[in-house]
Amino acid sequence: MLLSSLAINAKTSNFARQGGVKLPEKIVITNSLFSIMHDIEPFSNWRDHYIAAEDERSPFYGREYDEFGYTHQVYNYFIHPQWDEFGSNTLYLKILFADYDEGYAIMELIGEWNDCIDNDIMFLKRKVMDHLIDEGISRFILICENVLNFHGSDDEYYMEWQDDVCENEGWVSLLNAFPHVHDEMYETRLHHCINFGDAYNDINWRPMKPAILYQVVNRLVEENSRRFISD
């Protein structure tokens, strides 16, 4: 369902920031939010340290971008050409940083995550994550503050993803998700295989260096793991 009629009462107001702009306490997702997506660029402050198109080990190595040609769309709304497509019709991403020595990658997503109709997780897992796992990445940070909706199906690919990274004590974490995205993922039982929720929301990651963000998230995962074991 398009989000033009969906209203959400937010627990916090720091979701879907572009440059630190806060949304009001009551978030109403309308066509206007989709219509501004062409202005939302992937985070670029780490480009001095990493560019996916120049990384020979990246699934997006060698990609070229037309700064003036808008071709990717979410429904009828164009998005900024710097976002990378991987097979989904409504979900796009950008790998912001990858450290193959430490085994982690940070990426930002935008659009609508739809497993129910388009099986987006299949494309995400097969076209992006499997490639990175083969290159030694086992810890994934997915920034979801521009993911405007989630439609769940089953957890098969998520369980597979968990199994793949657990071999190297890895994990998958989603940051700064909308409350309704969090709720739908929980109803799909994805909390059994990936890390998300209140502890991972409202993280002001933009001022951080990639290594600092990784340390913050890794600490959260370790704390949650100890809490789970003790329970």
pLDDT above 70 for 229:
no
pLDDT in tens, 165-186: 998 999 999 999 999 999 999 9
Q: For position 226, what pLDDT does the model report?
A: 67
- State the chain's mean pLDDT as an integer: 85
CA dist., res. 178 & res. 54, Å (int): 32
Q: For position 153, what pLDDT does the model report?
A: 95
Q: For position 35, what pLDDT does the model report?
A: 58
CA dist., res. 97 & res. 32, Å (int): 30
What's the sign of the alpha-carbon dihedral 213, 219, 222, 226? negative
Q: For position 39, what pLDDT does the model report?
A: 78
pLDDT above 90 for 33:
no
Q: What's the pTM?
A: 0.85
pLDDT above 70 for 2:
no
The band of 212, judged by pLDDT with boundaries at 50, 70 and 90, is very high
Q: What is the DSSP letter of 195?
A: B
Q: For position 34, what pLDDT does the model report?
A: 58
Q: Which residue has the tokens 């979900």?
A: 91
Average pLDDT over residues 207-220: 98
User: In which domain, by residue range, is 137 found?
Assistant: 3-230
Q: For position 68, what pLDDT does the model report?
A: 73
Say how many domains are in the chain: 1
Q: If 0-12 CB within 10 Å is exposed, 13-18 middle and 19+ buried, where does residue 87 land?
A: middle
* Cα→Cα distances 169→32, 162, 199, 221, Å: 42, 10, 20, 11
Domain with residue 183: its CATH number is 3.30.750.24
Q: Where are the alpha helices (DSSP H) in the chain?
A: 31-35, 115-118, 120-123, 130-134, 156-166, 179-187, 210-230
pLDDT in tens, 98-131: 999 999 999 999 999 999 999 999 999 999 999 9
pLDDT above 80 for 13:
no
The SS3 call for residue 113 is strand
